[in-house]
Amino acid sequence: MLNINLKGKLAVVTGASGTMGRAIVRTLAQAGADIAIHYHSNVDQAEILLDEVRALKVRGVVVQADITELNSIMAMRDEIEQTLGEPDIVVNNAVIQYSWDTILNQTIEDYEGQFRSSVLHNVLMAKAFVPTMINRNWGRVIGINTECAMLNMPRQSAYVSGKRGMDGVLRVLAREIGEHGITVNQVAPGWVTSINKPQIDTVNKYCASVPLRRRGTVDDVAGVVAFLASDMANFITGAYIPVCGGNVMPSI
């Protein structure tokens, strides 16, 4: 039986105290990876998650940082290196939450927030963690994007613009550091269950557009992250992989 084995690897997951982040942490830990659990403000949830990780017999640490500020990320890096070592796997999952509105009504602050938490977040995490990956000639950078970057639906402009900028940064990064054995990929979830509880007619309308006729789960997404983090994905880089039941299909 083929299993994903991440024993001996150290992963840092941003936004790990959120719903998606928790699933990613659990899946990576189940595969044997040690985990640095990043949070911004929800320390209680991060501590609960740390207990779960340690129960799986892997090492873990909880770290706080503002993922839009270089000094904060560098301080987090130093704490991780001092407690667990140098990360092999970076999962950029955190993003600033805000209320969606039309372009004419969306605030400038929301666009700036999405730029900082989508684009700068990935830039700063690369600056902090990629140099040691280069030294070891092995590494994984995985960004959590979204199907919205392809759908371009009304009221999504701030989110879409941030995630499309993130896409550009990570594709360029894949070309820049590939020679060092480091892969850079993106996982793009659809509208997964457990993130929110909308009206049933809204859910039905969405599912009717999805070829698999359902919403995905956070575990569907976490499984792809674990695959990309493993040696089974050694020759995949620069990819944008939708995990959305076929709701978006990148063309050739």
Helix (H) or strand (E) holding 139: strand 139-144
What CATH number labels 10-243?
3.40.50.720
Supply the pTM of this predicted model: 0.96
pLDDT, position 195: 66
Active-site annotation holds for 159 = yes
How far apart are the C-alpha atoms of 170 and 189, rounded to whole Å?
A: 17
The tens-digit pLDDT sequence of the chain (252 residues) is 788 999 999 999 999 999 999 999 999 999 999 999 999 999 999 999 999 999 999 999 999 999 999 999 999 999 999 999 999 999 999 999 999 999 999 999 999 999 999 999 999 999 999 999 999 999 999 999 999 999 999 999 999 999 999 999 999 999 999 999 999 999 999 999 876 666 788 889 999 999 999 999 999 999 999 999 999 999 999 999 999 999 999 988
pLDDT of residue 193: 86
Contact 35, 229 (CB under 8 A): no
CA distance 67 to 75: 11
- Catalytic entry in 39, 159, 206, 240: 159
